[in-house]
Amino acid sequence: KAGVTQTPRYLIKTRGQQVTLSCSPISGHRSVSWYQQTPGQGLQFLFEYFSETQRNKGNFPGRFSGRQFSNSRSEMNVSTLELGDSALYLCASSLVGQGALGTGELFFGEGSRLTVL
Amino acid sequence: GDSVTQMEGPVTLSEEAFLTINCTYTATGYPSLFWYVQYPGEGLQLLLKATKADDKGSNKGFEATYRKETTSFHLEKGSVQVSDSAVYFCALINTGTASKLTFGTGTRLQVTL
């Protein structure tokens, strides 16, 4: 079956702009998580959505937001971009999520590489 | 809070050499432990996992044993191949608290002929 699909794969923005990234999970998966990957900080958890509800949130400023649609597809938005937002943004899906019912097994997309100039 | 510490990379080995990548963790309760691998240009994929103390996870010749007494989950492989070149991430999930995967910083492995 098709894996996790993220679009766009690469994008370049300038400071102050906003960006929206999209993630289509594996069919049947109801949980979508987002991570930011940078050389200095590694993988940092942004948030998790399950059945259109944000279930968990990492320590990122309010400029980072997300949502999930009824078909489980998810988007994340970053407003007022800063140079430090340059990163690979990874989306991961799972059947039941990362929480108490979850197994910790996430299926990752290839990521969206954002460069902020 | 929960945290995972991995050995610094990059690790460079010749083909057929023995591999160990150290991983230690800090967490309350009884976390589940994982190794994920990221091949060049790809997303992460689960390599193996262990859900309780003394469990051994294994896959594709890789092994790791959940050692609660030393809070460790070291990754080992007896004979690496060039195709094993990738970045390896140790991770934990502590469903009693944060309910999210916490990753280490990753260790890059380069295997040469």
pLDDT digits 0-9 by tens, A51-105: 899 988 899 999 999 999 999 999 999 999 999 999 999 999 987 765 545 566 8
Q: What is the pLDDT along chain B (113 residues), one digit of tens a residue?
A: 889 999 888 999 999 999 999 999 998 888 889 999 999 888 899 999 998 899 999 999 999 999 999 999 999 999 999 999 999 999 998 765 445 788 999 999 999 99
**Chain A residue with minimum CA distance to B46:** A105
Contact A91, A107 (CB under 8 A): no
Contact B43 A105 (CB under 8 A): no
Report the pLDDT value the prediction gives residue A103, as an integer from 0 to 100.
Answer: 65
How many whole angstroms separate alpha carbon A94 and alpha carbon A101?
Answer: 11
Q: Of B42, B49, B102, which has the smallest distance from its Cβ to A110's Cβ? A: B42
How many whole angstroms separate alpha carbon B75 and alpha carbon A78?
Answer: 36
Residue matched to tokens 């108490």:
A100
Asked if the C-beta of B9 comes within 8 angstroms of chain A's C-beta atoms, the answer is no
Report the pLDDT value the prediction gives residue A97, as an integer from 0 to 100.
Answer: 61
What token pair was written down for A75?
Answer: 């988007």
How many whole angstroms separate alpha carbon B37 and alpha carbon B46?
Answer: 6
User: Which of A19, A52, A105 lies closest to B91, judged by CA?
Assistant: A105
The alpha carbon of residue A79 is apart from the nearest alpha carbon of chain B, in Å, by 24
